[in-house]
Structure 1
């Protein structure tokens, strides 16, 4: 397809989504910049994406907004219409030449692109979205990165297939080095949190894995997460044989990235932590419930092992409250494990971590620890994982 000429023009990219979705947009933004080196590229993203896209060298301006606050409530449609109208009015003032919509799954952003009304509008669509350059959806489930690749293709641009990237500051690296210290034994991270409690594993099972690794490998345990996940951290600490390094609520995003970079292995659920581990090349054991891994691309890196119950994805049908796919998250403690992770035994997870530690000891990483301020690259190009451990 002949490339649409946008060099020297103003381009708006709508990248709606939380941390993992936002990280998936970086290869597409890098490819967009390579195709249009003189274009003025602006990105509209959620406020939570600022630590990821703020330092991104491929864009000229980041415009952030607060996500819808009343999802699933009676006033949700009214709120959505008002927020979209306000955003459209503001963005129309910039007189963009083109709008690209990443992550086709969100109809509100497709509608926003139409209201902005740029001469060129590109996105993945089955039709009816008013795109001038529409890309047909894939024949099967695709990750956000794959969908973004289709958006670029609609403009005649090839995504470069390169690494994920994240940018940190030198002081982030210094903080992380001081935090983890210089103790003996492998450094194993546990990141128990997720936006959805049904995607979480029970804290006592994380604790059992941590205690096993402390006893058998002399591991030092680091627990990471946001301030909202300190209760999870406290429950895990109670079950550990020795006190861990607790980082929940203690780090900026840049410091979090640098802590993950220093781990020998990370154990986590389907969350942004898995994407960060991919970006910095840290081996990870990722626990996945009934969701389809292809939506996020989790487990698709050669540095990751995916552990998942051997059952068909239910697409969120296990949520008896009807919140899945409607809200942005749910943190009801009573729902932990309902998304399939209750079938995952701690012994299986511990065994996979030990395998990773043994491989690391036999073949030390060839990737030197990057200095703060440099992008953290993915270890290997994206591909479907062959290192999947089905349960049941």
Structure 2
């Protein structure tokens, strides 16, 4: 259990209190001013402090008086303040303006700051170390992560940029879902986004075919290219997942579903581990570029991979092709709401000429059967074959760009 102090207005503090149900965080006290916060930090020594965006100008003074405490600022922040914190190497981190998402960000960050929370006792990996699984050995070395440029010698935290985790999911499944994921990722990378695509559709990992991931047995794997989630199964951990994130094409860093032969079914990876994998990849170094993390999820939300993705999502994209699919989507969304899956925005990606009313935002994509067939045969993204790509608009609507 992590402990924090929350500062800000009565309404902001109330929202934070109401959002602690699904996170491993306890709010010790509330502070109505910076002076109150300093006094409480020195007295209670919490893991972190959460303050609203309007307190950003006072964040530096708070750090100076409480050097060993991490400060998290929720909401829109002027670039000048961020630049000042980076220049001085201050442990001030920007999190979502949504309180429930901000607390999830803080929880993941604090877990990432404590490696023991990430590494299962039976499995760990270091740079250039031979990897051993329980019953098999993989005789290759994991490549080193890129060196992280720190703005201050005393600041050892990875500098990441707050961005959207976009999950593409449909209760129907099928290739249109993965087609949406791939073309959105290709479009984002083409627009200069630091783009990561995670294949959490282990039941039908069609994206692996697009990226030419070999479907082979574990003992024939010779290097880090092509290994993925099912290669390691229950031995997967967040740090390892980040190390096997490789650019396989189109400027996309891709985490494959991995090898399926000799591994019938899907691995029983713990939900908490999968959520930590997502958060570890989310907190990658992105060199000040705009960033996006896209997850292609299986149709069955009962699977740990899908449920972890849905719980982590800030934007949920749901491709639909016909009226029956749309009706099923509405039923499943009601169930997800009961399970406390609360993305910031839900976007229906309507393929073809379907016209249905919805309270969710809709973006239309032309369904051109011959062009889709050509795209698959030539292994060329669908968006490249269209005169005007609708995925540009989809990216703008999803990211607010």
Q: TM-score, normalised by structure 1?
A: 0.31
Q: Which has the higher contact order (CA 8 A, sep 6+)?
A: 1
The structure where strand makes up a greater share of residues is 2
Q: TM-score, normalised by structure 2?
A: 0.30
